[in-house]
Structure 1
């Protein structure tokens, strides 16, 4: 007799997802292989997800929802599953991002996670540890699905010029990343400003921070260190960081000039160059 792994749906969001996937598949009278054929995945992958040994993706969830007529159940669950796979100290931050109506972020040395491309994420996460890199990359990118909501949050991102010039993942990865930033030029809900080197001393010298504003709850400021996060709703801290952020936005380039600088750095630092034989090289 084939042993069937019985999941405890209350053990974790991943276990609950697997339990519901199996329940709906069996109700439809399909084997794992049959369902896999329908949604263009292997039956083995379906089995691994059902037994909580593999993370589901949003694309997988959407296809299975359509195939099994679940009313979008798995697509709603996948965000919770992804957040549960984040480092424990960061899970609360992902929840804040998901609930916020406005996110204000200042980054000193790299692009914020909500604006990162897949290749950039892999380079950042794999700098010292390349284990489970596919899953860890998918988990970080899943945070960006907050912008697909019916009413997505407004994002204000002030990025130091250093983040544009710090080559992470190689020239091709940086070209793609800066092009991704430029893709938001016409999106009024995602606003990117660059704090140029010429700004000199500025209000963010103490480091990166985020501020989250909600519909009915008090605003929260978030800072982080090595392997730890520090959210606080302390009114004095929120007021101080809000003032600092106002000064940072004032010192940063305008949205238009920021896009021009991003484009300039992308072309000058990461664009194609000619070798001595006049052949283009990356």
Structure 2
């Protein structure tokens, strides 16, 4: 357990956050319990955050900023804290997502993390490891804040039809996830296409990949393995994956037809089933 008197603000973004929270709280003359009462949490939780034993939420950060008059410091630090909690091999990818002007992804078996609902993300992350699941889910979802930027990236995703049928988290979770995808209809910055089973062999059979494009930097391709990621700006690799992506887009359903397929799968596969009396049996 980290002792508050020895907390090193340079050890990590989480330690720095805790150090600053304590400094502002003490400057305001508040106890942990008093601050907790103001921001609607327990004094124990404030203490855990101050000692880098608990991740702060964005809501906590925003309320603490107001209560302590930090000028928004804790809310700004929150994004850095959450990014630092990602696996080391994935932190660079989160930075690419945050800087990119355009993101193009092809996903074979599941919905991309930037479009996952809390329940779906939790089911994916908890498949083999239930430890710190709340925090790990929050960390993944925090990446989606890139869509709240003043100039969010243009996001294109091509989703294999298989991902619509891979029942992750159960019918309710899948119904919510597919409804979330449909919520982006009409949003020109988030574009979702489905690659149907009927296309047969296609340019993405070698696996999922992401393309990141920037205002002034070279494009980067990212591919993922078990417990590792492989970003590269190698021109030949980027050229090859860009060509593959063009072919995948050409083979995929249109935006409108993709939405219709998602809606049909949501209703037919994951819709509520009712008995003869009209009662739900789902």
Determine if the TM-score, normalized by the shorter chain, exceeds 0.5.
yes
Q: Distance in 2 between matches of 1:41 and 1:273?
A: 40
1:58-137 aligned at under 5 Å gives the runs 58-137=58-137
Q: Quote the offset at 1:278 in angstroms.
A: 4.5
8 Å contact 1:171–1:270 — kept in the other structure?
yes
Q: Quote the offset at 1:243 in angstroms.
A: 0.8
Q: Quote the offset at 1:274 in angstroms.
A: 2.3
CA 1:105–1:11: 2 relative to 1, 3 Å? same
Per-residue deviation, residues 83-108 of structure 1 (Å, max 9, x unmatched): 11111111111111111111100000
8 Å contact 1:5–1:51 — kept in the other structure?
no
Question: Aligned to 1:280, what secondary structure does the other structure show?
Answer: coil
2:25 matched residue in structure 1: 25
Question: Aligned to 1:155, what secondary structure does the other structure show?
Answer: strand
Q: Quote the offset at 1:276 in angstroms.
A: 5.6
Question: Aligned to 1:33, what secondary structure does the other structure show?
Answer: helix
2:246 matched residue in structure 1: 246
Q: Quote the offset at 1:4 in angstroms.
A: 4.2
TM-score by length of 2: 0.97
8 Å contact 1:192–1:258 — kept in the other structure?
yes
Per-residue deviation, residues 143-167 of structure 1 (Å, max 9, x unmatched): 1011111111110000000000100
2:199 matched residue in structure 1: 199
Q: Distance in 1 between matches of 2:61 and 2:41?
A: 11
Q: Quote the offset at 1:66 in angstroms.
A: 1.4
Q: Distance in 1 between matches of 2:278 and 2:149?
A: 48
8 Å contact 2:4–2:50 — kept in the other structure?
no
Per-residue deviation, residues 55-94 of structure 1 (Å, max 9, x unmatched): 0111111111111111111111111111111111111111
8 Å contact 2:101–2:152 — kept in the other structure?
yes
1:1-282 aligned at under 5 Å gives the runs 4-275=4-275, 278-282=278-282
Per-residue deviation, residues 116-168 of structure 1 (Å, max 9, x unmatched): 00000111111111111101100100110111111111100000000001000
Give the number of equivalent residue pairs: 280
Q: Distance in 2 between matches of 1:247 and 1:66?
A: 50
